[in-house]
Amino acid sequence: MPLATAWPMVLALGITLLAAGCLTNWAMSIAGAVLVPLALGGWIRELLPGRGEFEHARVPAHERPRAVVPAAVAIAPAAGFVHRMRLPEKVHPYSAGVRGGIVGGIGMAVVALAYGVVSGRGIWYTVNLLAAMLMPRFATATDAELAQFDALALVFGLVIHALVSAGAGLCYGVLLPTLPRWPVLWGGIVAPLLWTGAVYGFMGVLNPVMNRRVDWQWFIASQFVYGILAGLVVMRSEKVSVRGAGIS
């Protein structure tokens, strides 16, 4: 029989630290880079012939498990209400979720641009904050510098916003029709509150620049606008049969 070994857990820890260091601190990646080869070496050594196994005494015949033949069981007919999954004949197509994400993304962008105008920082401020996720040079930028037009930041901001909006809209298209009653309420209020809480917890890792400068009142308002618009587009779309529920 194979011997018990802890090296697989050490290897998993090393891989986790190696990946986590890419988002947090390079020291974690160094620790992971040390643990991975160490764990691989230890695991391989324990798998060598004669080292990673032990002899187990044979179990007497009368103590061995016996084969059990299942008895025939009569299935009672279902009567009344039963707890079973019910699959709909028609659902909203996935493309409705993508369209809802696009419409919601436009509404979210309007709120973000309105914040830039009302706050006096200009329309490029929020775009540059979003692009700071991929542009480290914005980490030390001042508010005045973030208010200036930057072509590369505009491209990065548009790509990030489009991908996130379409991806979240696709999730809406899949999940909203399955929620009980008032799906727009779930999509327009409950879902924005949930993902705003998640973004609040991870913003310091994903985008430290935005984490320091974001106005959370306007941010939450933009999420509500996105959720309501995306939910309305999804729920107003024409349903298709389950077989044709793919992208159309």
Quick check: 165 and 102 in contact, CB under 8 A?
yes
- For 53, the 3-state DSSP assignment is strand
Quick check: 188 and 227 in contact, CB under 8 A?
yes
**Tens-digit pLDDT profile for residues 106-156:** 999 999 999 999 989 899 999 998 888 888 888 888 888 889 999 999 999
The token duo for 73 is: 């069981």
pLDDT at 247: 44
pLDDT at 18: 86
Instruction: Calculate the alpha carbon distances from 87 to 30, 55, 97, 241 in Å.
Output: 49, 52, 19, 11
pLDDT above 70 as % of the chain: 85
Model confidence at 245, pLDDT cuts 50, 70, 90, reads very low
**Single-letter code of the amino acid located at 101:** G
pLDDT higher than threshold 60 for residue 85: no
Dist. CA 187–CA 227, nearest whole Å: 5
Q: Where are the domains of the chain?
A: 7-47, 90-244
Phi, psi dihedrals of residue 240, rounded to the nearest 5°: -125, 165
pLDDT at 246: 47
Dist. CA 18–CA 28, nearest whole Å: 6
Residue at token pair 């005045």: 144
pLDDT at 177: 66
Instruction: Calculate the alpha carbon distances from 145 to 105, 158, 209 in Å.
Output: 25, 19, 13
- Look at the pTM and tell me if it is higher than 0.85: no
- For 90, the 3-state DSSP assignment is strand
